[in-house]
């Protein structure tokens, strides 16, 4: 699972030294209230679709009534119970990936899908062969463990033995506080969201000479082992909370020695798989409505992501069993390469969501002209307070009305919003395809984050059939409705509205930003979109040829504009790069505003306020807590490597203020501190941001101009 969980575990962290704090820490009560308020506003975001629920059509009622929950649960159990290593785990590029793909293909045929196809793409396969951990002094105890994804082996896969030291969150000051340092030792690190998958903390450990790292995650079930994929440059093992507390108790009594080993294999150019089958459309067979879920997973994958596969297979079965013949083709797809894979090099941070990326960029780029909507589900079927639906702007109204018409709001609150984030849907967005991501969030933590990527995330623990049915109903009715609508239900002015909202934020922070021409082009785009809507409304009985031509224009307009409105987030919404998505302007809005504030504070001699501003610059959420060489190393992993995969062209400019931040820290408290060097540095960086903002503005401007030309063409 990817996706934009904007607070995640951060609410659970404390302030151990009075300085370490989370920028987005909040109480659970406040979080619940905020989610309820935002969810209630989701309808208002798309006023064209406001109103009471509409009754389902006869076919929609038939399809909903034919959905077979028993079949879905049976398939979910089967997919989650294979006798694979690590409790049924399916790692991209593994033999299990191949076997699972064939199993799903046979299942597709059994429910009546036609032209079922398996295709492959190349990636780097990482497989954990073995891992062991044991306390050998002051007592002996074997501790269950496994390697973090993409982490390194011990030398030759053999054991290493060393003193264990607890370094808390793994910040620079934590390592420097260890008597005698950590060189030649093994470190115990408490996982936290600021240090995204513990990459910065482990790299800091290596910088200080540590041999290996052991991670524990207090935000997960105490009896389970959490699995993450971090590309750490050292052997990194994961243990349960219970075992971590046991080890910490031993450390409180005196020195502890451990022995560990890890044998992990990297294999270049392994085949990973994509499976898809068709229910061909009766009137518009070349227009596709796509349902997708990834089939690779850590551990048994009940909630991430076998539930989504079971859901869409039950939808396929219901359509064929009911005898409904959709007008547009409905495609059912599962992809590997979501949880890991690196896409051709061990050097790529952007190694998840690769299946849809390579499908849309290498295997079938022509499908960008065929897919009229893609429904992606990931992390569904769990008891939850909120069903999140991330969407491209033009589909917001349709998806909001769909939620209301299907009655799911009696079970979960809707939160329908933009932008889509790092689910498999991102690659559809980047190809210009209308798309949405559907996932459940449990605000209590009992079924959601508590069981995320855990060895104990089994069907009986995490899945509630009623919530699985909710995904089945939402996607089934949505797919059928998209196939039956003669005209595509795109609201093009929502695209320009999305851009305008970002520009409003930009002007509030950077009043002299030169965006006047872009605003003018947005006005022209809206005028053309409104004119097309009026023309459509004037048609009485349009021919099939006329409908096809209008749909082609609507689809091309979306494809032309959408890929140029969002970027990958490198630290605004979430410290983990790529976890969220933001407007093309958001990073510049934030960083330019923070630099201006910092300059103003330094000119007034207020170093403390300047530090606070710089700590809000993208990448400094975690950057302030690591040494400068480690900061540069981390930046390279997601912004310097040439293997950017689906992040190529979607990374905003990184403003490096680390050294300025450190210099201010050193001068604070000095009488009459001279901040002239720091001011000069920040002014120079601000000038660079202005130039980058111009380039970004021109990119979006051109996309809007091109979109207007599509709409205005006769």
pLDDT digits (tens, 9 = 90+) for 644-676: 999 999 999 999 999 999 999 999 988 889 999
Q: Each residue of 450-475: pLDDT tens digit?
A: 888 999 999 999 999 999 999 999 99
Please say if the pLDDT value at position 179 is more than 70. yes
Please say if the pLDDT value at position 34 is more than 80. no
**CATH number of the CATH domain containing 447:** 3.40.630.10
Helix, strand, coil % in the chain, rounded to nearest 5: 45, 20, 35
Please say if the pLDDT value at position 101 is more than 90. yes
Contact 270, 343 (CB under 8 A): no
Please say if the pLDDT value at position 241 is more than 80. yes
Confidence band, pLDDT 50/70/90 cuts, at residue 37 = very low
d(CA 1, CA 294): 9
92, two tokens: 């991209």
For residue 189, give the DSSP letter: E
Rounded mean pLDDT of the chain? 91
d(CA 522, CA 461): 49
| 585 and 669 co-located in one domain | yes
Q: What's the average model confidence in pLDDT over 373-380? A: 98
Q: What's the average model confidence in pLDDT over 231-241? A: 94
The pLDDT score that the predictor gives to residue 219 is 87
The pLDDT score that the predictor gives to residue 444 is 60
Pick the closest to residue 610 from 549, 657, 560 (CA basis): 657
The pLDDT score that the predictor gives to residue 446 is 56
The pLDDT score that the predictor gives to residue 25 is 30
Q: Each residue of 414-433: pLDDT tens digit?
A: 999 999 998 999 999 999 99
> Which domain does 301 fall in, by range?
8-125+268-484
672 falls within a domain: yes
| 573 and 678 co-located in one domain | yes
The pLDDT score that the predictor gives to residue 649 is 96
The domain total for the chain is: 3
Please say if the pLDDT value at position 612 is more than 70. yes
Helix (H) / strand (E) containing 320: helix 307-322
Share above pLDDT 90 across residues of the chain, in percent, rounded to a whole number: 83
| 575 and 465 co-located in one domain | no
| 344 and 463 co-located in one domain | yes
| 463 and 598 co-located in one domain | no
Exposure of 158 by Cβ count < 10 A (0-12 exposed, 13-18 middle, 19+ buried)?
exposed
Please say if the pLDDT value at position 48 is more than 80. no
Confidence band, pLDDT 50/70/90 cuts, at residue 641 = confident
Please say if the pLDDT value at position 19 is more than 90. no
Q: Which residue has the higher pLDDT, 45 or 113?
A: 113
304 falls within a domain: yes
Please give the angle made by the CA atoms of 293, 299 and 300, to the nearest 5 degrees: 65
Please say if the pLDDT value at position 5 is more than 70. no
Pick the closest to residue 637 from 425, 358, 351 (CA basis): 351
| 460 and 608 co-located in one domain | no
Contact 582, 419 (CB under 8 A): yes
| 242 and 287 co-located in one domain | no
Share above pLDDT 70 across residues of the chain, in percent, rounded to a whole number: 91
Last residue of a domain, one of 484, 513, 538: 484
3 falls within a domain: no
Q: Each residue of 668-684: pLDDT tens digit?
A: 988 889 999 999 999 99
| 92 and 207 co-located in one domain | no
Q: Which residue has the higher pLDDT, 45 or 580?
A: 580
Please say if the pLDDT value at position 9 is more than 50. no
Beta strands in 404-448 (DSSP E): 413-417, 435-441
Confidence band, pLDDT 50/70/90 cuts, at residue 6 = very low
Pick the closest to residue 338 from 372, 269, 292 (CA basis): 292
| 325 and 401 co-located in one domain | yes
**CATH number of the CATH domain containing 204:** 3.50.30.30
The pLDDT score that the predictor gives to residue 87 is 62
Pick the closest to residue 471 from 73, 3, 47 (CA basis): 73
568, two tokens: 């990958």
d(CA 611, CA 657): 10
| 451 and 470 co-located in one domain | yes
**Three-class DSSP category at 111:** coil
Confidence band, pLDDT 50/70/90 cuts, at residue 2 = low
Pick the closest to residue 589 from 608, 552, 564, 616 (CA basis): 616
pTM score: 0.93
The pLDDT score that the predictor gives to residue 117 is 99
d(CA 474, CA 381): 12
| 120 and 256 co-located in one domain | no
107 falls within a domain: yes
Q: Which residue has the higher pLDDT, 113 or 41?
A: 113
Please say if the pLDDT value at position 582 is more than 80. yes
Please give the angle made by the CA atoms of 147, 578 and 386, to the nearest 5 degrees: 90
Last residue of a domain, one of 428, 456, 484: 484
2 falls within a domain: no
| 558 and 693 co-located in one domain | yes
Please say if the pLDDT value at position 633 is more than 70. yes
Q: Each residue of 51-87: pLDDT tens digit?
A: 689 999 999 999 999 999 999 999 999 999 988 766 6
Q: Each residue of 269-314: pLDDT tens digit?
A: 999 999 999 999 999 999 999 999 999 999 999 999 999 999 999 9
97, two tokens: 């990936």
1 falls within a domain: no
The pLDDT score that the predictor gives to residue 340 is 86
Pick the closest to residue 339 from 353, 360, 355, 357 (CA basis): 353
């Amino acid at each position: 699972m990817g996706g934009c969980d904007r607070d995640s575990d951060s609410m659970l962290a404390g302030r151990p030294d009075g300085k370490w704090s989370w920028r987005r820490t909040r109480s659970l009560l406040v979080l619940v209230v905020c989610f309820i308020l935002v969810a209630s506003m989701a309808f208002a975001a798309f006023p064209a679709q406001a109103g009471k629920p509409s009754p389902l059509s006869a076919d929609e009622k038939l399809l909903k009534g034919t959905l077979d929950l028993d079949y879905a649960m049976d398939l979910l159990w089967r997919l989650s119970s294979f006798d694979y290593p690590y409790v049924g785990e399916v790692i991209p590029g593994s033999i299990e990936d191949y076997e699972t793909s064939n199993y799903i293909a046979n299942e597709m045929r059994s429910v009546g899908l036609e032209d079922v196809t398996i295709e492959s793409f190349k990636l780097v396969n990482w497989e954990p062969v073995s891992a062991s951990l044991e306390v050998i002094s002051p007592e002996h105890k074997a501790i269950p463990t496994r390697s973090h994804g993409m982490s390194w082996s011990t030398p030759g896969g053999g054991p290493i033995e060393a003193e264990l030291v607890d370094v808390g969150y793994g910040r620079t000051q934590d390592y420097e506080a260890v008597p005698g340092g950590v060189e030649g030792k093994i470190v115990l690190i408490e996982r936290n969201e600021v240090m995204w998958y513990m990459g910065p903390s482990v790299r800091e450990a290596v910088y200080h000479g540590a041999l290996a790292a052991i991670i524990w995650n207090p935000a997960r079930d105490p009896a389970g082992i959490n699995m993450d994929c971090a590309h750490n440059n050292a052997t990194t093992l994961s243990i349960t909370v219970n075992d971590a507390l046991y080890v910490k108790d031993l450390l409180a009594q005196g020195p502890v020695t451990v022995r560990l080993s890890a044998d992990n294999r990297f294999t270049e150019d392994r085949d990973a798989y994509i499976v898809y089958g068709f229910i061909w459309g009766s009137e518009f067979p070349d227009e596709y409505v796509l349902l997708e879920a990834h089939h690779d997973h850590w551990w048994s994958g009940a909630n991430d992501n076998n539930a989504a596969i079971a859901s869409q297979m039950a939808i396929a079965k219901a359509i064929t069993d009911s005898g409904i013949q959709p007008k547009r083709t409905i495609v059912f797809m599962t992809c590997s390469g979501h949880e890991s894979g690196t896409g051709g090099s061990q050097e790529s941070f952007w190694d998840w969501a690769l299946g849809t990326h390579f499908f849309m960029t290498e295997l079938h780029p022509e499908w960008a002209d065929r897919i009229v909507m893609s429904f992606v589900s990931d992390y569904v079927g769990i008891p939850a307070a909120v069903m999140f639906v991330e969407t491209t702007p033009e589909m917001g109204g349709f998806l909001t009305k769909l939620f209301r018409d299907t009655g799911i709001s009696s079970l979960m609150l809707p939160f329908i919003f933009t932008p889509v984030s790092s689910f498999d849907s991102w690659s559809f967005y980047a190809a210009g395809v209308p798309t949405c991501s559907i996932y459940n969030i449990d605000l209590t933590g009992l079924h959601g984050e508590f069981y995320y990527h855990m060895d104990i995330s089994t069907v009986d623990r995490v899945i509630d059939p009623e919530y699985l049915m909710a995904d089945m109903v939402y996607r089934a009715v949505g797919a059928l409705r998209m196939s039956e609508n003669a005209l595509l239900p795109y609201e093009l002015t929502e695209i320009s509205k999305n851009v305008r909202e970002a520009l409003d934020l930009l002007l509030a922070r950077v009043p002299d930003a030169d965006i006047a021409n872009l605003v003018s082009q947005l006005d022209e785009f809206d005028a053309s979109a409104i004119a097309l809507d009026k023309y459509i409304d004037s048609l009485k009985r349009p021919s099939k040829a006329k409908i096809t031509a209008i749909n082609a224009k609507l689809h091309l307009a979306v494809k032309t504009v959408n890929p140029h409105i969002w970027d990958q987030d490198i630290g605004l919404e979430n410290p983990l790069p790529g976890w969220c998505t933001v407007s093309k302007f958001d990073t510049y809005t934030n960083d330019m505003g923070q630099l201006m504030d910092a300059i103003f504070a330094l000119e007034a001699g207020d170093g403390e306020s300047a530090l606070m501003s710089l700590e809000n610059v993208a990448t400094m959420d975690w950057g302030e807590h690591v040494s400068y060489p480690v900061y540069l190393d981390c930046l390279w992993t997601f912004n310097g490597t040439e293997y950017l995969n689906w992040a190529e062209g979607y990374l905003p400019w990184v403003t490096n203020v680390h050294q300025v931040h450190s210099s201010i820290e050193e001068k604070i408290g000095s009488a009459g501190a001279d901040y002239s060097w720091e001011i000069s540095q920040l002014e120079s960086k601000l000038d660079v941001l202005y130039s980058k903002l111009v380039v970004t503005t021109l990119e979006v401007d051109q996309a809007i101009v091109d979109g207007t030309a599509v709409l205005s063409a006769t």
